Amino acid sequence: MKLQLSTPDRSPKYIEWFVGKKRGFLMRAWSISIGRIFGVELRVHWTFYFLLPLFVWYTDYASHGTANEERDLALVGITFASVLAHELGHGLVARRFGIRVKSIILLPLGGIAQLDDSLPASDPLAGDELLSRKATKLVAWKRDIRIAIAGPLANLLTALVSCGVILVVAPHVDLRTWPFMQIGNLPRSLVWANLYLAGFTLLPAYPMDGGRVLRALFTRRMDPVQATRRAVSIGQAFATLFILVGMLLPNYWLTLVGLFLFIASQMEERSVVFQSVLEKVHLEDIMLTDFATLSPADTLEDALEKAVHSLQDDFPVIRGSDMVGVISRQKILEALRLEGNGYVQAVMNRIFEVAQKGESLASAFRKLTARNLSIIPVVEDQRLVGIVTWQNLLHSMALRAESRKRRKQALNS
């Protein structure tokens, strides 16, 4: 019998996407780091280097028959500064609430402040025992609103300050003639770029800032999933409106924005729904209770023999009643190939995380992805009672979805 040396699918791609990991990764992969500001990594998306300059240049060229590249670049720079002010607003306020800001990614239509919410234990709100559950919830929605409006507020402030400076330094500059953003009048463009950005992001179209405020308000009276769903449907109504109006005018820029908004709100909804399911399911509901274990004194050939007779890809290694490590089928095969027969003890992975059986699936996910693990032993009173693996997570989630569907059908008929 020939055993295939295949890489187990450690974290299925679509799950990474849903929990936001993949999306964050894609955004990062398509952007370049240009330094740090207030201790936060600043990254610029490729559209800023390529698409926006091209768009500004084309607009300039189409309306004048010739283009002034220096002024075009200056307008790109103004957009850059306005988006930066916006994201810094979000980032700095988030940090005041104890949320770590991983990085700020700048996109032409507004950026993304990547907040690290994967560490709920370090959340000062959750840790404060004086706060009752209700109070925590209350503070959470207020916090979300403050973080959301900090971006548009930063733009309003920038507009106000630059307006004031222009009025003092160059009072002859005309600030009120349309088109407001134009390479012919860069000071006016700076003021209006910020006003536009503030106004646009304040639209109650989730996942834009105005929509986030709306969602936070909804969470006062309903659970997060319901609140997100409601905010998303309002956001999608706006997106549809943008697409239609954009096509009627025609203004394809607006249509494009509408399309992006539609897709973004849908992804956001899925991710929130998925997260909440993960929070509700406990490990004891889905863990494997019938599983094989190895002993550190087993030889690799013994271990391989056991692996052949089991569907498991990963095995807990047990000495007496203590868990001392984990080892994967792949590791056993690799070690046998490279070094010949030896003991499990020498090859096993001694670094692993355990979970309590009452822990939520969400926390198991965090542990699996944070350290790129493939198995989590589940314990009760320090006794091994089950294991959770990627493979088993996927299967049991599919099964649970199926049984929910059947229950629903049974209720309806």
C-beta of residue 155 within 8 angstroms of C-beta of residue 89: yes
Q: Cβ closer to Zn ion: 86 or 329?
A: 86
Stretch that binds Zn ion, among 204-212, 278-286, 313-321, 372-380 (CB under 5 A): 204-212
Closest CA to 300 of 322, 331, 323: 331
Stretch that binds Zn ion, among 4-12, 207-215, 266-274, 310-318 (CB under 5 A): 207-215
Q: Site mask, Zn ion, residues 104-143, x = CB under 5 A? A: ----------------------------------------
209: contact with Zn ion by CB under 5 A: yes
Q: Cβ closer to Zn ion: 87 or 359?
A: 87
144: contact with Zn ion by CB under 5 A: no
Cβ at position 39, least distance to Zn ion in Å: 20
The interface with Zn ion within residues 184-203 (CB under 5 A) comprises 201
Q: Give CA–CA dist 360/342, Å, rounded.
A: 37
Q: Cβ closer to Zn ion: 183 or 205?
A: 205
Residue of closest CB approach to Zn ion: 151
Q: Cβ closer to Zn ion: 87 or 313?
A: 87
Cβ at position 87, least distance to Zn ion in Å: 7
Stretch that binds Zn ion, among 168-176, 205-213, 284-292, 363-371 (CB under 5 A): 205-213
Q: How many residues lie near Zn ion (CB under 5 A)?
A: 3
Q: What backbone torsions phi and psi does residue 108 show, to the nearest 5 degrees?
A: -60, -30
Burial 84-118 (b: 16+ CB within 10 A, else e): bbbbbbbbbbbbebebebbbbbbbbbbbbbbbeee
Cβ at position 197, least distance to Zn ion in Å: 8
**Is beta strand 100-106 parallel, antiparallel or unpaired with respect to 40-45?**
parallel
Q: Which long-range contacts (CB under 8 A, 24 or more apart) does 398-402 make?
A: 400/281, 400/285, 400/286
Q: Cβ closer to Zn ion: 209 or 298?
A: 209
Cβ at position 274, least distance to Zn ion in Å: 23
Stretch that binds Zn ion, among 147-155, 231-239, 306-314, 349-357 (CB under 5 A): 147-155
Cβ at position 239, least distance to Zn ion in Å: 17
Helix (H) or strand (E) holding 266: helix 252-280
Q: Cβ closer to Zn ion: 162 or 201?
A: 201
Q: Cβ closer to Zn ion: 201 or 391?
A: 201
Q: Cβ closer to Zn ion: 190 or 197?
A: 197
Cβ at position 245, least distance to Zn ion in Å: 22
The 3-state DSSP class for residue 107 equals coil
Cβ at position 90, least distance to Zn ion in Å: 5
C-beta of residue 28 within 8 angstroms of C-beta of residue 16: no
Q: Cβ closer to Zn ion: 84 or 368?
A: 84
Stretch that binds Zn ion, among 151-159, 213-221, 365-373, 392-400 (CB under 5 A): 151-159
Q: Cβ closer to Zn ion: 210 or 246?
A: 210
The tokens describing 117, both together, are 């919410």
The residues, any chain, with a CB within 8 Å of residue 403's CB and separated by 6 or more, are none
CA angle 147, 151, 152 (to 5 degrees): 120
Q: Is 65 exposed, middle or buried (0-12, 13-18, 19+ CB in 10 A)?
A: exposed
Closest CA to 244 of 258, 231, 232, 233: 258
Burial 272-295 (b: 16+ CB within 10 A, else e): bbbbebbeebbbeebbbeebeebe
The residues, any chain, with a CB within 8 Å of residue 323's CB and separated by 6 or more, are 316, 317, 352, 354, 377, 379, 384
204: contact with Zn ion by CB under 5 A: no
Cβ at position 154, least distance to Zn ion in Å: 9
DSSP annotation string for 155-185? HHHHHHHHHHHHHHH-TTS--S-SSSSBTTB
Stretch that binds Zn ion, among 148-156, 168-176, 311-319, 396-404 (CB under 5 A): 148-156
Q: Cβ closer to Zn ion: 238 or 291?
A: 238
Q: Which of 20, 91, 151, 386 binds Zn ion (CB under 5 A)?
A: 151
**Is beta strand 355-356 parallel, antiparallel or unpaired with respect to 375-380?**
parallel
DSSP annotation string for 80-92? HHHHHHHHHHHHH
Q: By the criterion CB under 5 A, which residues form the site for Zn ion?
A: 151, 201, 209
